[in-house]
Structure 1
Amino acid sequence: MKKYLWAVFILVAGIVIYQYVQYQSGLIFHVYEIDEINSNVITKDNQIYVNGELFQVKGVQMSASMPNYRFSDYAADQADYMRWMKDIHEMGANTIHVSTLMDDDFYNALYEFNQGHKDQPLYLFQGVRVSDYGNNTPFDAYDSEFYDILKQDLRSAIDIVHGKKNILLNRGRGLGTYRKDISSWVLGYQIGDSWNNNTVAYTNHNHNTTQFSGTYVKTDKDANAFEALLASLMDDGLRYEGEKYGRQSLISFINDPGNDPFAYDGFYAGQLSKTVQIDVSHILPTDALKSGIIASYHMFEVPSDFMTYFSEDTKKTLKNEISQMNPSHYLNGYVDLLNAYYDVPVLISNYGFSSARGSDTKESLDEKAQGKALMETYDDFMESGCAGAIIHHWQDEWGNRTWNTNYAVNVDESIYWDDIQSMNHGYGLLAFDPGKEKRKVYIDGIHEEWEEDDVVYINDGLKLSMKQDEQGIYFFIHGNQDKLSDHLILPIDITSESGSRIWKDHETTFERPADFILELEGIKAQMLVQSRYESLRENFLSMIDGEDPFIYPPKKDDSAFVAINMIQKKMKIRENVTNSKPVYSEVKETGKLIYGNGNPESKDYYSLSDFMIGKDGIEIRIPWQLLNFSNPANLEIHQDYYEHYGVETKTISKLYVGLGTINDKQIPMQDVTLKRWNKAETHERKKQSYDIVKEAWRKQP
């Protein structure tokens, strides 16, 4: 009996050890010699070749992001991924990029999809990234939260795509049982996402080791310590896949204009946060590398005259490269410069344009303009000599944060509502529109969605109806044409902590202290906010005009109603210290409502539409953020900024609205109960930009 028990114990132990070593350990097994390693993806003449044929990357970035779920929930299942891959393939794309380890449903879906599309499969660029904590740690890049995590994740990614990995616990990344071998469709691995330049500088300061010599890559004499670290990671990944699986894929790390190889004059470098350089040219292949190294770039805006801020040495060194720049190309030829500089393929691994209502530039793009910008920019990239480009992003991501609206919203709860004022929510080609199957309201001036129960206010021949959904509050104004063509005023009372019954410079008064005024005159409309409740002033006044907002705050009952603005990205540069004035941020009016048809089924659909006049009346949408809601799902609004020294919130259950004309002596106001929700109801809709990309890419080889 003891022998039997020992035999069972040894068998079970053997299985456990085999499972651990094979699927969990991440150890290198020297199975293949260098001359036995193959690669179906190589680089040649600064381009990418797959199975011996030139391959032009037409890619799109994908994640597991869905409304109601955090990124780390990996809520999308295999059916979701399959549906999205089908649409991506039909759009003409040939590549998907993921920036981190995904759950097993994603890889199972890619395997199943490509089994049915063997002649035209979807290829994969697999990314691994350092956590926000690791990237912003007070330590350098050799810290375990940085280097060790990247090394471990790169090995895990390789095991995953070869179908030999179990991940039971994986903080912030995908997990599951990975058994599908998709390695033949993997183009390469991309290390990192965006590098904190302070971490890069601190690493270079702390470490004298600037040289690395590995089996597949090595650094040249000009490399810095951070580049040596990247070379070490790249070599480890190549060695791990080669020796364990007999395969080589392309290898790269993510770079961006903030960390590119070009040195700036010291006075301008600080203003542009351009204080370090990372250069893939300092990492060289050895004779053992059969696949290749590529330069992968995330693109974001740079000053239009960026090259004038280069150091004198940079200008001299890059004289020939600068002469090859085409100023009519994207970013005034910045990508031309990259292609002229590098001797490896340049891949734009992340570029995009948002179709959100809010932005940090002068113009917001509607969905058609988004698609046009994507394709014009893609053509610029290809004319510049790039090996291809990857669009950011496949789907809108409600969980993304946006620098100029973070202060105004509860960013941890933004997954529950469609914040169209936050730019980073709208980069997708796929929208998640409110409503389980269709929207409650389409802004088209047609009354058919509105019922008698929606009427909240009647006054002197005008009738006001109201609805709400995950995107905002909607009004429908009924009345005869004479009334509708009048100068209409719609006061709104949100908070009891401030507001005014009087509108400065106008004779009209309100029954209650109003916080907002919706002003309508024909096809012109705007939202105004009472000066005390203007969130931009308290948060950004010092950046806009240099004043302290707390020295002379507006009175609680101040009668001034002001435009609702958004702060813009500061792109101006101070030319000298002694003579130039401070460079302040500009603003744009976001409270100005946009006229147009907001029904996607209409031939004249305009995705940024806020209101429309029809034969039945005027239909209006007010985004939640314009009304100072920080989390509308829980009906959380801003409190008094000057009593709380910033944005603090409280919950409400109702608001008050009124409706009248500019000539009314007093406009009565009526309370309207608001509804909370625990889970957003949405349906998917491919944007107009999807169709534009599809039309362009399906014409290309």
Structure 2
Amino acid sequence: MVRRSLGVLLTLVTLLAAAGCTGSDSPDPAAAAATASGSDWSPAPRTVGDLDVLATSGPGGLALHTASGAKTFLPGINLGSTTPGHQPGEIDHLDAATYRTWFSQMHDLGIRVVRVYAAHPPAFYDELDRFNRAHPTAPLYLVQGVYLPDESYTEAGRTLYTPSVDRAFTEELRETSAAVHGDLTRPEQPGHAGGTWRTDVSRWVVSWIVGVEWDPEGTRRTDRREAGAAYEPGRYFAATRDATATERWIARHLDVLATAEAAHGTSVPVAFANWPTTDPLTHPTEPLPAEDLVGVDAMHVLPTRAWPGGTFASFHAYPYYPDFQRFERGLDRVEWEGEPDRYAGYLASLQQHVAGTMPLVVSEFGVPSSLGSAHEGTRGRDQGSHSEQEAMAMNASMLRMMAAQGVAGGFVFSWEDEWFKRTWNTQEHTDAERRQLWHDPLTNEQWFGLVATDTTQVPDAAAELVPEGGDTKYVHVWADHSYVHVEVTGRDGAPTRLRLEADVVPGPEEADHRLLLDTEAGTGQVQVRRALDPVRLDVRGTSYRPDQDAAWHDLVLMTNRALAGRPAEYDPVGRLVEGSWDPQDASYDSMATWQVEEETDTLEVRLPWSMLGMADPSARVALGEGRPAARVQVPGIGLALDVDGEQHALDLTWPTWNRVEHTTRVKAGADVLAEAYADLAP
């Protein structure tokens, strides 16, 4: 395989900073921008031979052909296939009303293109068609994905050429093409949308991105074991002579899709998914071998002259991982907003690699608005620990960066928060089978959405205490599907100091987790008993933090293990933040975990279930001792409070649950991102 180093490819690139963003007064940026510019986004496909070509992609870039000319930068959004309480394989629960709401909200935010990863239920295509016919000059274009139904190529002894893997992908490609053209009936089955697709939305399909983020071990095994596998170039896509076995397999399947599309008389750009772990570049400073083990190169999978739609290099590229972005020489020579920007430098290296043959599309990027973080990023773009406003501003900045850098498209991840998601530094702390039933603020992957999925109160999960005397007037404890709320009201003013001890796991210890809060000093800290510290589960050895022998540990999340001579890194997530968590409040801060309500003399605290050691609150399962940690069924949580020296105690109990309710809202700060969409796709 030909691999190019950044030192050879990267030239000095300095990008001009984008103008500062301000809030928009328009409730419909897409319509406002179109009105101001006279832009008409209605499709105007060209005819090449016997094919209708809505978009093309090649050496000159990507172009979507519309009534007002070619659109050469596509700012979009990624849409998942689930809602709270559901796993992604339960896609058939999505209905017409949900899609109708989503499309309207996307339009109001100025989004021009939506990407999906797999065939959605028929209602998706019905409602997309309905919406676009109602908005002919500002339609919502579609990037259709096709996922890999059988991912067992990651298992020992199997490859992408394993017959079950190969057949499943081939069938999924053909069926998804049929669904898009309104010509498919298939039964409901786990992991697939079922039903009858009758609506043809192909006139709004701007491209296809198929496949998955390739597993490095599975890819390398495929390349080695299938190196001599027979290959014949397809009519529409062909692998180059120096292509690997994986690349030849991808080329063969892109040709399957192109053949199905050509049979319907259409041709648009067809690309395959990729990510930095299997990019075609070398990264000598990457500390994890698996992150630079093998490459998959779009330059080795090319369209033939018979496919006018062309192709592009599609990458899921985030600003915080892999680690080489922080250390690789040369990446900091690229600037954005007047500062060296290693993320911009990495995108520049990808562009250099494909320059002259195809454009680059960043098909996933973004930062989450979660309390917890899982990795440090470039220029503060960490994998979490951002307020909603910070996350939206960072996403807007990166989108503008991509346009300024000449990238052909940028797709923010994602549309709506997804409760089922996991991340490496909390997955050992929670129950994998029931994550979708509660929304963990410490698991950043659950908080990428532009749309918040706010939890509701857990029924019958409350306790109260009314002391007969003393300075404490009232104690109220209740829970939603993310937090345990503790509200303490004073008789003559709000409490100033609160020590809260939580007895969670049955045993001789009276406390397993505790909170130390001083409102006058403005400090709050959550601590965990040494034997229950969840960080111990995230490392392979016995040494997991400098203070691990102390009886109590400040609660942290590990954001990087000690690697390549570099010390381990931590997110001090147990250090609580003061502020309002009411989205209607002008000073709203989604990171806030305590506040003082002066009008009612009440100190309010909200603690994530995971800060109290719950592995699955929906089943009342706590994280116990040991490695791996025991899972302990608990009747509730015993709470001991010291309120300015006064002692109180009460128990919080709640019923288990298997269904959840939630509400949705566009996140704070989304107007800044909406303005970027409107500016970049008027």
| Alpha-carbon offset, residue 545 of structure 1 | 4.2
The one-letter amino acid of 1:350's match is: E
For 2:552, the equivalent position in structure 1 comes to 561
2:656 to 651, 654, 676: 676
Whole-Å Cα distance in 1 between the matches of residues 100 and 191 of structure 2?
Answer: 23
1:530-679 pair list within 5 angstroms: 530-540=529-539, 542=541, 545=544, 560-570=551-561, 574=564, 581=565, 583-615=566-598, 616-639=601-624, 641-642=625-626, 645-660=627-642, 667-679=647-659
**Number of matched residues?**
611
**Residue aligning to 1:507:** none
Contact 1:330 1:380 in 2 (8 A): no
Paired position in structure 2 for 1:196? 215
* Counterpart residue number, 1:517: 514
Matched, 1:411 2:432: yes
Structure 2 equivalent of residue 230 of structure 1: 250
Structure whose CA Rg is larger: 1
Equivalent residue for 1:47, pick from 32, 40, 62: 62
Alignment of 1:267-416 (within 5 A): 268=286, 271=289, 273-300=291-318, 301-302=320-321, 306=325, 328-329=340-341, 331-342=343-354, 343-361=357-375, 364-416=385-437
| Matched AA of 1:520 | L
Q: How does 1:376-525 map to 2 (within 5 A)?
A: 376-435=397-456, 454-455=464-465, 460-462=470-472, 463-480=474-491, 484-485=495-496, 487-499=497-509, 513-522=510-519, 523-525=522-524
| Structure 1 runs not aligned, ≥5 long | 1-32, 316-320, 442-449, 500-512, 575-580
CA deviation vs aligned residue, 1:328-348 (integer Å, no higher than 9, x gap): 345151111222221212111
| Farther off after superposition, 104-113 or 256-265 | 256-265
Preserved contact between residue 389 and residue 668 of structure 2 (Cα < 8 Å):
yes
- How far 1:672 moved relative to its partner? 3.5
Whole-angstrom CA distance in 2 between matches of 1:566 and 1:324: 31
Asked if structure 2 preserves the Cα contact closer than 8 Å seen for 1:47 and 1:386, the reply is no
User: 2:98 aligns to what?
Assistant: 80
- The one-letter amino acid paired with 1:461 is D
Question: CA 1:608–1:386 in 2, change beyond 3 Å: closer, same or farther?
Answer: same
In the TM superposition, what is the alpha-carbon distance from 1:136 to its structure 2 partner? 1.7
Specify the SS of the correspondent of 2:671: helix
Structure-2 change in CA distance of 1:440 and 1:392 (3 Å): same
Q: Distance in 1 between matches of 2:80 and 2:582?
A: 28
CA deviations 1:107-166 (Å, max 9, x no partner) are 111111111112111111111111464342331111123322222111111111111111
Distance 1:584 1:542 in 2: 14
Counterpart amino acid of 2:637? L
Out of 687, 690, 694, which is 2:674 matched to? 694
Rate the CA distance shift 1:614–1:541 in 2: closer, same or farther, 3 A: farther
Q: 1:57 maps to what in 2?
A: 74
- Corresponding residue number in structure 2 for 1:37: 51
Q: Identify, as 1 or 2, the structure richer in helix.
A: 1
Structure of higher RCO (CA pairs closer than 8 Å, 6+ residues apart)? 2
Matched, 1:175 2:194: yes
Do the aligned partners of residues 308 and 545 (structure 1) sit closer, same or farther apart at CA in structure 2, a change above 3 Å counting?
Answer: closer
* Cα distance in 2 for residues equivalent to 1:216 and 1:62: 28
Q: Which amino acid aligns with 1:632?
A: P
Output the TM-score relative to the length of structure 2: 0.83
Question: SS of 1:699's equivalent?
Answer: helix
Deviations 1:408-456 (A, max 9, x none): 1112111111111111100111111122xxx699xxxxxxxx99x7336
Q: How many Å apart are 1:269 and its aligned residue?
A: 7.3
Deviation of 1:268 after TM superposition, in Å, equals: 5.0
Cα gap change, 1:546 to 1:425, in 2 (>3 Å): closer
Counterpart for residue 578 of structure 1: none
Shift of the 456–231 alpha-carbon distance from structure 1 to 2, 3 Å rule, reads farther
User: Which SS does the other structure have where 1:92 is aligned?
Assistant: coil
Amino acid at match of 2:79: M
User: Contact between 1:215 and 1:235, CA under 8 Å: does it hold in 2?
Assistant: yes
Query: Among the aligned pairs, what percent are the same residue?
Result: 22
Q: Distance in 1 between matches of 2:281 and 2:535?
A: 36
Q: Which runs of 5+ in 2 are unaligned?
A: 1-46, 377-381
Shift of residue 64 of structure 1?
2.7
What is the alpha-carbon distance in structure 2 between the residues aligned to residue 594 and residue 53 of structure 1?
48
Aligned 8 A contact 1:214 1:235 in 2: yes
Normalised by the size of structure 1, how large is the TM-score?
0.81
Partner of 1:259: 278
Q: 1:339–1:384: 8 Å Cα contact kept in structure 2?
A: no
Change (3 A) 1:308 1:417: closer
Which amino acid is 1:291 matched to? G
In structure 2, how many angstroms separate the alpha carbons of the residues matched to 1:456 and 1:538? 40
Q: Give the distance between the partners of 1:140 and 1:247, measured in 2 at CA.
A: 32
Q: Which residue of 1 aligns with 2:84?
A: 67
